[in-house]
Amino acid sequence: MTMIIAAARTFARSLHGRLLVIGVGSALLALIAVLAIASLRDVGQEPLGEVDPGIERAAEFTLPALDGAAISIADYADRPIFLYFWASWCAPCEREAPLIERLWREYEPLGYAFLGVNILDSEREARRFADRHGLTFPSLLDADGEVYLEFGVNGVPEAYFLSPGLQVQHKFLGELRESEFREMLEAIMSGGDGPAS
């Protein structure tokens, strides 16, 4: 009888130990997920400004667009690109959406590509945001955050100004002012490198 009780205790301790490891592991995974989502912060009302992009050439990617088509950044590699990371819950993205749409309509006929990359929203949330702001420039869904991780996005909004060949000329964190936006667009269109820092 004592052998049975001893065996039962050993089994219970073993099972308890496994459950404890599973519980601690699950808690750590949940904490990592919360910290990852928290790192995708709204960068606030004051733009952080132009920063070192950390990369020289943009990574190539293909993502589904809000209209259902698959779009590859490589399809636009022969022209300048404004690559804009945004989210539906981002207050600065809300404020600057009308400006970006207006500049898209102005610069697209001149050969400038605008690509929005929505991060970690559902398709429904992203569509609702685009519809609410009348956005017509191509916006892509990065629902799993793969492209945002590839680019090392620090928060939203975040913008990359690319010259032909997907060469990164500028990386801008936070809400863009129209004057800065135009200066960077014009410099890349003319073959320059944009405003002096």
Per-residue pLDDT of the chain (197 residues; tens, 9 = 90+): 666 666 656 655 665 555 544 654 554 444 344 334 434 444 444 444 555 665 689 999 999 999 999 999 999 999 999 999 999 999 999 999 999 999 999 999 999 999 999 999 999 999 999 999 999 999 999 999 999 999 989 899 999 999 999 999 989 999 999 999 999 899 888 876 544 33
Residues 23 and 105 occupy one common structural domain: no
CA distance 193 to 176: 17
The DSSP-derived string for 8-21 is: HHHHHHHHHHHHHH
Question: Do residues 27 and 58 both lie within one domain?
Answer: no
Helix (H, G, I), strand (E, B) or coil at 134: coil
Residues 104 and 71 placed together within one structural domain of the fold: yes
157 prior amide bond cis, ω within 30: yes
**pTM for the full model?**
0.73
Query: For residue 35, what are the CA distances in angstroms to 32, 92, 125?
Result: 5, 21, 22
Q: Are residues 1 and 53 in the same domain?
A: no
Range of the domain at 31: 1-39
Spell out the SS3 assignment of 18-82.
Answer: HHHHHHHHHHHHHHHHHHHHHHCEECCCCCCEEECCCCCECCCCEEEECCCCEEEHHHHCCCCEE
Count of domains in the chain?
2
Same domain? 21 vs 108: no
Rounded Cα–Cα distance for residues 23 and 123 (Å): 32
